[in-house]
């Protein structure tokens, strides 16, 4: 995969980060390591990279395979006034006057949107609208390894893409 001007190979990234130089790790290394925050962050970033490699499948799941799109990540830097900034994993700007803001979540269970996380999503959406000035309808999309748990906050999300959807032919 090429991101920007960098060639990215997921196995090579994993190898250089966790295997190279690990001489004779203890027998329980992987079991112990898999429960750490570092491993959780790695899984999340790896899931994002896999999803970005499968934008065509995301578009197919959204029912927009035939729509001309532009894909990119988006970020608003934090300001000095205490604003923490905002970041969107994947923006799919569509030629049919709709923009999907895709949030990627790697969880072993369906992702549950808490009240606090819902407020964060709404804040990102508002920041995107404010900064870009888009006139498109803006839809929230969750790309989650295990889907989305239905609760009151899930109704703010217009579409869900799962890991299985990423590997549909």
CATH number for the domain spanning 56: value is 3.40.1350.10
Choose the weakest-confidence range: 42-51, 88-97, 108-117: 42-51
User: Rounded to two decimals, what is the model's pTM?
Assistant: 0.84
Please report which residue ranges of 37-114 form alpha helices under DSSP H.
Answer: 37-52, 55-62
Q: Look at residue 154 in the predicted model and tell me its pLDDT.
A: 96
Question: Can you give the pLDDT at residue 76?
Answer: 86
Give me the number of domains the chain comprises: 1
- pLDDT reported for residue 29: 76
C-alpha to C-alpha distance for 19 and 14, rounded to whole angstroms: 7
Domain that holds residue 32: 1-169
Torsion of CA 86, 91, 94, 99, to 10 degrees: -40
Mean of all residue pLDDT scores within the chain: 88
The per-residue pLDDT for 79 is: 74
Alpha carbon 40 to its chain centroid, in Å, reads 14
């Amino acid at each position: 995969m090429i991101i920007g001007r960098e060639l990215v190979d997921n196995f090579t990234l994993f190898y250089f980060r966790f295997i190279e130089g690990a001489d004779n790790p203890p027998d329980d290394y992987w079991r112990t390591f898999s429960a750490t925050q570092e491993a959780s962050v790695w899984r999340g970033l790896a899931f994002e990279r896999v999803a970005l490699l499968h934008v065509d499948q995301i578009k197919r799941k959204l029912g927009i395979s035939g729509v001309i799109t532009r894909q990119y990540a988006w970020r608003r830097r934090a300001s000095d006034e205490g604003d923490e900034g905002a970041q969107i994993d994947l923006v799919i700007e569509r030629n049919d006057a709709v923009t999907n803001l895709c949030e990627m979540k790697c969880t072993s269970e369906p992702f549950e949107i808490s009240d606090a996380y819902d407020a964060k999503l709404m804040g990102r959406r508002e920041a995107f609208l404010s900064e870009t000035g888009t006139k498109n309808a803006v839809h929230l999309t969750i790309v989650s390894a295990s889907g989305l748990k239905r609760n009151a906050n899930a109704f703010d999300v217009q579409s869900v893409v799962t890991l299985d959807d990423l590997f549909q032919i």
